[in-house]
Chain A
Amino acid sequence: MAGLNPGVQRKGMIRGRKWPYHIGLTVTALIIAFPLLYAALISTQTNAEIFAFQIRPGSALRDHFQSVWFDRDFAGAMWNSTQQAIYVTVGKTILSLIAGLAFVYFKFKFKWFVFFLVLITLMMPTEVMILAMFRQVSGYGWQDTMTAIVVPFLASATGAFLFRQHFANLPTDLLEAAQIDGASPIKFLTKILIPLSWNVIAAMFVIQFVYTWNMFLWPSLILRDPEKQVVQTALQGLTNIDGALTYGPLMLAAIIASIPPAIIFVLMQKPFMSGFAVGQNK
């Protein structure tokens, strides 16, 4: 690469030949995609075809789908994960919006203390208190319920600060105008702030959806009933079907499990990036 002289001009335009970059990027993209492409190949093969290291797609995709989606009820797990991800994402976004509203547009006693209380939670990841939380939530009798995998995750310091930051950067005369019109805080939020915040809401939505959908440790502790599993924990049950290791169905399930977050991420990439830009600026 040394001889290519990758000079950089305005906006990162390349001086000189471009095809080496195209080749380099294509190769890199293929290397990154390799684990998934390999899994896609395996998901079509029977065990015999896998052990023969056959490079062509196999004959078993339909059987694997039947076994994963219907026989092992992966469909049910997908539905559980969808519900969980939507409840958490929507709930968290709403709570963060109104918390941001309170922090930016209200004066009240002990605000600094409340702010501090929320700020401190940034250094309190759930994982370090997972045993105490497991005991506590089990004590409520919430095992195997949707409540257990939704409610504890509804509040978020990151979200509250994301919106606080965004609102604080909006022009201050917005509020004056709203007050002259006699708008209530909720009206101010829904009619003025939210329409100005779609980028941040989209960023929040992508981050939280992916985070919730991909959650593993907590559901693996609190969900024991095989019918109540979410996709990530349902994968565990697929490592072993009828006492034998079956690679094909497991790979197929892993791919299916990745489709919803991947679609959301790819579709909402643009607003996601610009929303992050808001979070980054001081």
Chain B
Amino acid sequence: MLIIGLVVAAIIGPLFVWRNNENRSIKRYGIGSAAAVVGAAAPAIGMGQCGFADGATGVDHLFMYGLMFGGGWLALLAAQSFFDRADGKKKDSAAFAGEIRTGGFRLGTWVPWVLLSPTLLILIVFLYFPAFSTFTLSTKLTRLGAPKSVDVCFGNFTELLITDPFKLVAYPLIAVALLYGARFWMRRSEPGTLSRRGADVASVLAVLSVFVALYAMFSPGGGGQVAYRPVYVTTIIISLGIVAFGMIGGLAVAYLAFRNLRGASIYRTMLIWPYAISPAVAGVLFFMIFDPTAGIFTHVMDVWFGIDVPNYRETAFLAQFSIILASGWKILGYNILFYLAGLQTVPLAQVEAALIDGATSWQRFTKIVLPALSPITFFLLVTNLTYAFFEVYATIDFMTKGAPAGKTSVAIYEIIRIGVNNGDLGRGAAQSVLLFIAVIAITMWQFRTSGERVSYGGS
């Protein structure tokens, strides 16, 4: 089975070279083919071909092929950058690395290395090395504090997914096809036409299909599989809840506060100070507010509205709501800060022109202010998502501890529960890898999109 994979790699290599190069030669096709084969073989042989061993399931084969594909692709990208350099097409890497044109210090070549060495040392020892060990740990079954470990190949991953290999291939392919289809439609349609409206709707649906595909791929549990689908759903609900609440609230408050009033700087300070509050303290404060016996929330609901609120730690909706409220409140200050800065760059000439044209305040807001803020909105979307993925841990730990029945146990909380509290490092590491992939996907999306989106006016 390894041979099949390597043959496919040997064919894809030259195709890749053909697609990406103007200077095509036999030598380059050969290099491309070899690079793809070596790149694909390295992870497979490095893992002892365990995904193809006797008794390996279809899903194991799938993972092994996936890993080979990834390795081959990386090798091809490396080869391509080598070709580009040879063609003189290299993206000005000097400018990329921020060199100043008038030369630099002409000192021994060791000087910059000495200056960079502490940073590099710490990044390698405390970021690259643990990142690498997270991947190796994820293929093992090992206990915290125990020296022994057993190789389980992809076992820690496959138990999180459904068992049907065909569905595991089909679902992501459908989602990707929809994404490309929507993009194609978007390119073909003219702005302002009905077709463009349809394309807008289609791209939203295509993005949704990615979430649905992931939902369908994670195992609902049973049959020896780990129920990861509920964790996925909880993570999505809580992250999107925090991001939506934090960003809409932040924009609304900033839009109220950016005008030049007397005492504007005092108001500003009074609005953004929660930036300095920790997620743990946010958890403590809302723990008090929502406390079922002593908290003001239950009391007010009961006395003023006659509603008997159940214990929030035993009701899924209330538990998620309280976490979203606490985290959203904490991140509000940060969002207000950036939106206030962004609102200073809104082109006033356009606002005045719209005012003369008789646009309503809502129209002015949606047609002029929102588009002008889009770079900041995008930046905040990514930072808020990172916050909702990781910093929410402390808030959850103080308020619900994942209760009821895991309904507030988001991915990072689950990783600590499995890896530290249960001491099951391998399984925890496998879930960490999933979260890692999510972060990489978001960052790639950020890098690609921030190049495309343009701001009007300002900066």
List A residues at the B interface (Cβ < 8 Å): 1-2, 5-14, 18, 21-22, 24-25, 28-29, 32-33, 35-36, 38-39, 42, 47, 50-51, 53, 95-96, 98-99, 101-109, 111-112, 114-115, 117-118, 121-136, 151-155, 157, 160, 164-165, 168, 172-173, 175-176, 179, 185, 188, 210, 213-214, 216-217, 220-221, 232-233, 235-236, 239, 247, 250-251, 254, 257-258, 261-262, 264-266, 269, 273, 276-277, 280-282
Report the Cα distance A5→B386, complex, angstroms. Answer: 38
Q: Report chain B residues within 8 Å CB of A165.
A: 98
Which of B102, B105, B348 interacts with A8 by CB under 8 Å? B348
Q: Report chain A residues within 8 Å CB of B280.
A: 214, 216, 232-233, 235, 257
Q: Report chain B residues within 8 Å CB of A152.
A: 122, 126
* Known A129-B131, A155-B118, A232-B280; further 5 A-B contacts with Cβ < 8 A: A12-B344, A132-B134, A135-B425, A216-B397, A254-B284
Distance (whole angstroms) from the CB of B404 to the closest CB of chain A: 19
Q: Report chain A residues within 8 Å CB of B94.
A: 111-112
Q: Report chain B residues within 8 Å CB of A221.
A: 416, 420
- Let me know if A281 and B459 touch, CB within 8 A: yes
> Dominant SS at the B interface?
helix
- Let me know if B279 and A216 touch, CB within 8 A: yes
Nearest opposing residue in chain B for A260, CB measure: B276
B227 at the interface (CB under 8 A from A): no
Contact with A along B116-149 (1 / 0, CB 8 A): 1011111100111111011001000000100000
Q: 19 pairs across A/B with beta carbons < 8 Å?
A: A8-B259, A9-B352, A13-B259, A13-B260, A28-B253, A29-B270, A35-B285, A35-B329, A105-B100, A105-B104, A111-B93, A124-B127, A128-B432, A129-B432, A132-B429, A135-B133, A151-B122, A152-B122, A168-B100
Report the Cα distance A121→B120, complex, angstroms. Answer: 11
> Dominant SS at the A interface?
helix
- Let me know if A99 and B99 touch, CB within 8 A: no
Distance (whole angstroms) from the CB of A109 to the closest CB of chain B: 7
Report the Cα distance A125→B459, complex, angstroms. Answer: 29
Distance (whole angstroms) from the CB of A170 to the closest CB of chain B: 9
Report the Cα distance A220→B38, complex, angstroms. Answer: 43
- Let me know if A135 and B144 touch, CB within 8 A: yes
Q: Report chain A residues within 8 Å CB of B299.
A: 53
Report the Cα distance A96→B119, complex, angstroms. Answer: 8
Which interface residue of A22, A33, A157, A258 has the most chain B CB atoms within 10 A? A258
Distance (whole angstroms) from the CB of A231 to the closest CB of chain B: 8
Report the Cα distance A229→B255, complex, angstroms. Answer: 41
- Contacts A21-B261, A42-B288, A123-B440 given; indicate if A129 touches B130 (C-beta within 8 A): yes
Which of B109, B120, B429 interacts with A131 by CB under 8 Å? B429
- Let me know if B355 and A7 touch, CB within 8 A: yes
- Let me know if A265 and B276 touch, CB within 8 A: yes
Report the Cα distance A273→B131, complex, angstroms. Answer: 33
- Let me know if A258 and B281 touch, CB within 8 A: yes
Q: Report chain B residues within 8 Å CB of A135.
A: 133, 137, 144, 425
- Let me know if B361 and A6 touch, CB within 8 A: yes
Distance (whole angstroms) from the CB of A142 to the closest CB of chain B: 11
Distance (whole angstroms) from the CB of A241 to the closest CB of chain B: 14
Q: Report chain A residues within 8 Å CB of B144.
A: 135
Nearest opposing residue in chain B for A179, CB measure: B105
Stretch in B53-61, B199-207, B289-297 touching the partner: B289-297
- Let me know if A131 and B115 touch, CB within 8 A: no
Q: Report chain B residues within 8 Å CB of A188.
A: 105
List B residues at the A interface (Cβ < 8 Å): 93-94, 96-105, 107, 109, 111-113, 115-116, 118-123, 126-131, 133-134, 137, 144, 253, 256-262, 267, 269-271, 273-282, 284-286, 288-289, 291, 293-294, 296, 299, 329, 332-333, 337, 341, 343-344, 348, 351-352, 355, 360-362, 386, 389-390, 393-394, 397-398, 412, 415-416, 419-420, 425, 428-429, 432-433, 435-436, 439-440, 443, 459
Which of A22, A121, A129 interacts with B261 by CB under 8 Å? A22
- Contacts A35-B329, A155-B119 given; indicate if A125 touches B386 (C-beta within 8 A): yes
Kindly count the residue-residue contacts between A and B in the assembled complex, taking CB atoms under 8 Å apart. 308
Report the Cα distance A24→B299, complex, angstroms. Answer: 27
Report the Cα distance A266→B337, complex, angstroms. Answer: 12
- Let me know if B281 and A18 touch, CB within 8 A: no
Nearest opposing residue in chain B for A154, CB measure: B122
- Let me know if B285 and A39 touch, CB within 8 A: yes
Report the Cα distance A165→B97, complex, angstroms. Answer: 10
- Let me know if A257 and B432 touch, CB within 8 A: no
- Contacts A107-B104, A164-B98 given; indicate if A232 touches B351 (C-beta within 8 A): no
Distance (whole angstroms) from the CB of B47 to the closest CB of chain A: 18
Report the Cα distance A18→B362, complex, angstroms. Answer: 19
Distance (whole angstroms) from the CB of A254 to the closest CB of chain B: 4
Q: Report chain B residues within 8 Å CB of A269.
A: 269
- Let me know if B100 and A175 touch, CB within 8 A: yes
Which interface residue of A33, A123, A164, A273 has the most chain B CB atoms within 10 A? A123
Q: Report chain B residues within 8 Å CB of A247.
A: 288, 291, 294
Q: Report chain B residues within 8 Å CB of A173.
A: 102
- Let me know if A124 and B112 touch, CB within 8 A: no
Which interface residue of A2, A11, A127, A251 has the most chain B CB atoms within 10 A? A127
Distance (whole angstroms) from the CB of B142 to the closest CB of chain A: 9
Which of A12, A122, A125, A251 interacts with B343 by CB under 8 Å? A12
Distance (whole angstroms) from the CB of B137 to the closest CB of chain A: 6
Distance (whole angstroms) from the CB of A151 to the closest CB of chain B: 7
- Let me know if B127 and A10 touch, CB within 8 A: no
Q: Report chain A residues within 8 Å CB of B351.
A: 8
Q: Report chain A residues within 8 Å CB of B116.
A: 98-99, 102-103, 114
Q: Report chain B residues within 8 Å CB of A131.
A: 134, 137, 415, 419-420, 425, 428-429, 432
Report the Cα distance A176→B299, complex, angstroms. Answer: 70
Report the Cα distance A245→B416, complex, angstroms. Answer: 25
Distance (whole angstroms) from the CB of B236 to the closest CB of chain A: 18
- Let me know if A265 and B361 touch, CB within 8 A: no
Nearest opposing residue in chain B for A30, CB measure: B270
Q: Report chain A residues within 8 Å CB of B343.
A: 12
Q: Report chain A residues within 8 Å CB of B429.
A: 131-132
Report the Cα distance A102→B419, complex, angstroms. Answer: 39
